[in-house]
Structure 1
Amino acid sequence: MKFIDLFAGIGGFRYGLEKASSKFKCEYSNEWDKYANQIYKKHYKECDIRDIRTVNTRDIPDHDLLCAGFPCQSFSIAGKRLGFEDTRGTMFFEIARIIRDKRPRYFLLENVKGLLSHNQGKTFQTILGVLSDLGYEYQWQVLNSKNFGVPQNRERVFIIGHLRETSRPEIFPIGESYTVLSKEKSAKQRIGARISSTIDARYGSLRNSGETYLHYIGGVIGKRDMWIKDNKQNSRNFSQGQRVYSSDGIASTIAGNAGGLGGKTGLYAIPVLTPDRKKKRQNGRRFKTNGEPAFTLTSQDRHGVFDGLKIRRLTPIECERLQGFPDDWTQDLSDTQRYKCLGNAVTTTVITEIGKLLIQAKEVNQL
C-alpha cells in the first residue's frame, strides 16, 4: 500500500506503518521543521522540507493512503457552511487540497483530543463536512497510547476515511481487547534499566509562596534538593511542570511545547539505582541501604542509597520509548529539540495497530 507522510515530524507514522507490514511503502514525505526533518532524513534518507503550502500537487506521487498529523487551528469563517473554502489558510486546507487533487483511496489523520471541542465543536464539524464533500466516508475514535503497549496517558483523535465508491475498511472502533496492553509494563519497566541516575537536578526548589511543603524526596539528586507537596488533594494547584509522579504508573502526556520544571515530560520520583544494579557491587563494595553510613564519594565512583528517590524529568531516551521509537532515534539533536520533536510525534505503537487493521481489511475485501 503506497502512502504519503505529511507533517511527517520524526517519522512516527512511517515507522509505525512499516513495522505493521512490509506492504506499506512511503512514496513522499514532507516536514518543514529543520530539526524534525534532520531526524527523518537520518532514518529514511529523503524528506521534502518545503512549506506544504508551496508544494504543487503535481509534485506529489499517486498513493493509496494519505497520512497526516496536523495542527489544530481555527477556521476564520467556520460555521458559515462554505465547505472547503471555510478551511483556507490552515494546514487542514492543504490536506484537503491534496486529497481533492490526488484522490487517495484512504486517509489517516491524527490530532489532539481537544479538536473535538475546539471552537465549540465547529472546527471538527467543518473538517468532517469538507471530507464528506470531497467524496469520502469516515470513521473516527479517540485512542489513548496507554492502551497500545506504552505507559503514557496520551489521548489523540484519529480519523480514517475511504472513497465513497470503495469498500469500507472496518477499523474503528478498536475494541477493549487492546486495553490489556496497558497492563504489561509500568513507566519504570518500559523505560527500563537505562533510567538515568546521573542527571543533576538543576531545576531549583518547587517552593511557591504561601505553600507548605511537607515531604522530602530523599536520595542522591544532584546539586540542589527538590521538595514536593505531600498532599494529593491539592495536586490541581500544580501544572504538569510542577507535579511529581510515581514511575510505577502511567506517564503523563509528553508535550512538545510546555513550560515548568517538568513541563514537557512531567517530573518523576525514580530510585537512584537502576534496576539491573540493585544486587551488584561497585569497585568491590555493596551499595548501602538507607540509614547506613555512606561510602566516601569520589568523582569516578558515585554511590547512592538504594531506597532513595530522585525527582527529575524523563530523559530523551525514555521519551523515545514512551512514544514507541527505538533508543537514540533523535540523538543528533539537542535535548531541547529532542523533547520538542518527541512531544509533537505520534505514538508509533498506535499507528502500528491501525496499520495492521488496514492491511487486514484490504486483504479481506480485496481493496
Structure 2
Amino acid sequence: MKFLDLFAGIGGFRLGMERAGHECVGFCEIDQFARKSYKAIHDTEGEFEFHDITRVTDESVRGIGRVDVICGGFPCQAFSIAGKRAGFEDTRGTLFFEIARFASILRPKYLFLENVTGLLNHDNGNTFETILGALDELGYDAEWQVFNSKNFGVPQNRERVFIIGHLRGAGGRAVFPFGGENTQSDFEPRIEVVGSTQSEDSHSLGQKEIVYSPDGVMGCLTATDYKGPKQVAIPLLTPDRIKVVGVIEPNFNQSGCIYDPEGIAPTIRTMQGGGLEPKIAVREATSKGYSEATVGDSINLSHPNSATRRGRVGKQVANTLLTGEEQGVVTPNFRIRKLTPRECWRLQGFPDWAFDKAQAVNSNSQLYKQAGNSVTVNVIEAIARKLEETDE
C-alpha cells in the first residue's frame, strides 16, 4: 500500500512500513535537523516533501493523489504526563486536526497514528473522546491498543498507544488486539530501589539519589535526558530486566540513574544529549579510570584520577558540578558511562547503517533528540504487517 508519512521525524514509521512491504509517497517534518537525518537514511527523490504542516495548502494536499495509509505520530507533549497536559488548549495538541484535514482530502483507507498513553486519560478521557469523535465525523471507525517496545525485540520499556482508523465502507478487518513476540516475557515489571546516594542527614529521597536493583526494570528514556544522561551497565542490548545500580548528579527525570548491562533500557526521550544521555555501568573498572577512587567515593567523571575537588572528593560528599562535567559514585565491580547515540538508536530498532548515515549529517545532541522523538521501528513493522493482512 502507498502511505504518507506525517510528523515524520527520522522515519521510524517509514522504516517499519517499508519493512512490511509498503511504499512511501511523501513526508512532512518541520525540524530541519530531523529532515537531514531522514533524507540521509531514506531515498526521497521524486517524493512530496513538506515542512510546516500548518502551511501546507489544501491544493498541495490534493496534489499528492491517491494514498492508502496516512501515518503520523502527532506531537505528544500536550498529552504527556511529563508535559503541562494542556491538550487542545496547547497548539501542539491541535496538530491532530492537521491529520484530520489531510484525511478529509485524501480519504485514505487507513489512518495509522501513535501517541503517549497519557492521551487516553487526559482531561478524564475527554481529549481522546474528542479525537474519536473527529475521526467518526470524517467517516473513520477507530480501534486502538497500547504496546510496549520491550515486547518487540528491543530492551526498552516504552509504552505507546497506537490508533488505526478504518474508512467506513472501504473494507478491511480489525488489526487489534494482538501481542508482541515477547508478550509473556521474563522482564520484571517492577523497578526496585535498593539504596540511595543521599547524605545521612537528608530526610527525603529524590529521584536523583535513587539506586535501583539490577533485578528490576529500567525506566523510559525521556525528552530531557540530554541534560543528564542515564547510566547503565554493559553489555547494553540484552533481553533481561531493567536494573539501576547507581546514580550521578545532576539528575533530571531519572536521567542520573546508572543502569545494569543485563537489564533493558528505559524509554528513550526526545531531547537526549548535552549530558542527559542514559548511562550504563562498565564492569571491571580499569585503573586508568579509577586508580584513586574507592567504593563509595564521589568522583567527577571528567577527571576520574584527580585528587582535587574536580576528581575524587570522598564518601557522602558530592562534587560541585561545573559546566559539561559529570559526577558519579564508585560502586563495587563497575564504572559508569553514558549510552551512546548509536545505542539509543538501536533501542528504537534502527539498524546501524541508518544511524551511520544520520551521524554523518548531525551532531550527537541532535541524534539523541531524534532517537527520543522517534517511534520504535519494530512495533511499527509488526502493526504494518497486521495492516497488510487485514487488507488482503
TM-score, normalised relative to structure 1: 0.68
Whole-Å separation in 1 of the counterparts to 2:112 and 2:127: 18
Distance 1:113 1:164 in 2: 26
1:41 maps to what in 2? 39
Whether 2:266 is the aligned partner of 1:252: answer: yes
Measure how far apart 1:207 and its partner are: 6.5
Query: Which residue number corresponds to residue 364 of structure 2?
Result: 335
- Call closer, same or farther: CA 1:45–1:272 in 2, change over 3 Å: farther
The match for 2:280 is 268
Q: Could you tell me which amino acid in structure 1 is paired with residue 32 of structure 2? A: K
C-alpha contact 1:12 1:346 (8 A) present in aligned 2: yes
Residue identity in the other structure for 1:311: I
User: What secondary structure, in the 3-state scheme, does the structure 1 residue paired with 2:372 have?
Assistant: helix
The 1:314/1:211 distance shift into structure 2, 3 A limit, reads farther
Q: Post-superposition shift, 1:177? A: 5.2
- In structure 2, the CA distance between the partners of 1:35 and 1:88, relative to structure 1 (3 Å rule), is closer
Describe the SS at the equivalent of 1:355. Answer: helix
Is the CA contact (8 Å cut-off) linking 2:31 and 2:51 kept in structure 1? no
What residue ranges of structure 2 are gaps of 5+ in the alignment? 79-86, 188-196, 204-208, 212-230, 232-243, 286-331
Quick check: 2:272–2:369 contact (8 Å CA) kept in 1? no
Offset, 1:123: 1.4
Residue of structure 2 equivalent to 1:314: 339
| Change in 2 beyond 3 A, CA 1:98/1:88 | farther
Number of residue pairs aligned between Structure 1 and Structure 2: 281
- Which position in structure 2 is the counterpart of 1:239? 253
Partner residue in 2 for 1:361: 390
Alignment deviations for residues 81-110 of structure 1 (CA, whole Å, 9 cap, x no partner): xxxxxx998210100001111110001000
Q: Would you tell me which structure has more strand in proportion to its own residues?
A: 2
Q: Which amino acid counterpart does residue 331 of structure 1 have in structure 2?
A: Q
TM value normalised by structure 2: 0.64
CA distance, structure 1, for counterparts of residue 278 and residue 178 of structure 2:
28
What is residue 76 of structure 1 aligned with on the other side? 89
Q: Which residue of 2 aligns with 1:200?
A: none
Quote the residue 1:193 is aligned against: none
Q: Does 1:4 align with 2:8?
A: no
Flag the structure with larger Rg: 1
Matched, 1:94 2:98: yes
Q: Which amino acid aligns with 2:113?
A: L
1:115 pairs with 2:128: no
Provide the rounded CA distance (Å) in 1 between the counterparts of 2:142 and 2:111: 9
CA positional deviation for 1:178: 4.2
**Identical-pair percentage:** 49
| Conservation of the 8 A alpha-carbon contact between 1:28 and 1:61 | no
**Alignment partner of 2:142: what SS?**
strand
Paired residue for 2:158? 154
Shift of 1:62: 1.8
**Any conservation in 2 of the 1:138–1:159 contact (CA below 8 Å)?**
yes
Shift of 1:272: 5.6
Cα pair distance change 1:352/1:259, threshold 3 Å: closer
Contact in 1 for aligned 2:142/2:163 (Cα 8 Å): yes
CA contact (8 A) 1:136 1:162 kept: yes
CA shift for structure 1 position 271: 2.5
More helix by share: 1
| Cα distance in 2 for residues equivalent to 1:178 and 1:154 | 14
Name the SS of the counterpart of 1:324 in structure 2: coil
Indicate the SS of the match to 2:156.
Answer: coil
Q: 1:120 to 1:325 in 2, by over 3 A?
A: same
Give the match for residue 349 of structure 1: 378
